[in-house]
Amino acid sequence: MLAWGSAQASTSLTLAAAAWMVSGLSPSPLVNSMLPALVTLPVLLPLIHRPLAGVILQLLAVLVLLGLGVGTSPAVGAPTPELSIPVLLAMASVLAVAVGAQMTVLPVQRTLLAVHQLPMGQLRRVGEFGALLGHGLTALLFPIGRALLQFSQALVLLLPALPLARQARGEARRQAAGAGAPPAPVPFSWRCAMQGVLFGGLFGLLPLWVRQVEAGTCLDFGLVLAAYGLGRCLGGDWGLAWWPMARQLVGTRREGAFRYLVMALLLGATRWLPGWGSLLLFLPMGGLAQASDLDQVRGLTDLGDEPLSWQSLARSGAIGGLIGSLAMGLVAQLLGLPVALPLQLGLFIGAALVLPPRP
pLDDT band at 299; cut points 50, 70, 90: confident
For residue 76, is pLDDT > 80?
no
The whole-number average pLDDT for the span 215-243 is 78
Mean pLDDT of the chain: 84
The whole-number average pLDDT for the span 167-191 is 68
The whole-number average pLDDT for the span 144-159 is 91
**Segment among 69-78, 162-171, 186-195, 260-269 with least mean pLDDT:** 69-78
Q: According to the model, what pLDDT value does residue 92 have?
A: 95
Q: According to the model, what pLDDT value does residue 239 have?
A: 46
Q: According to the model, what pLDDT value does residue 242 have?
A: 46
Q: According to the model, what pLDDT value does residue 108 have?
A: 86
Annotated domain spans of the chain: 2-177, 190-354
> pLDDT digit string (tens) for 318-349?
999 999 999 999 999 999 998 998 999 999 99
pLDDT band at 246; cut points 50, 70, 90: low
pLDDT band at 186; cut points 50, 70, 90: confident
Domain covering 190-354 assigned CATH 2.60.40 in the classification: no
pLDDT band at 279; cut points 50, 70, 90: confident
Angle formed at CA 206 by CA 201 and CA 212, multiple of 5 degrees: 130
Which of 59-63, 147-151, 187-191, 340-344: highest mean pLDDT? 59-63
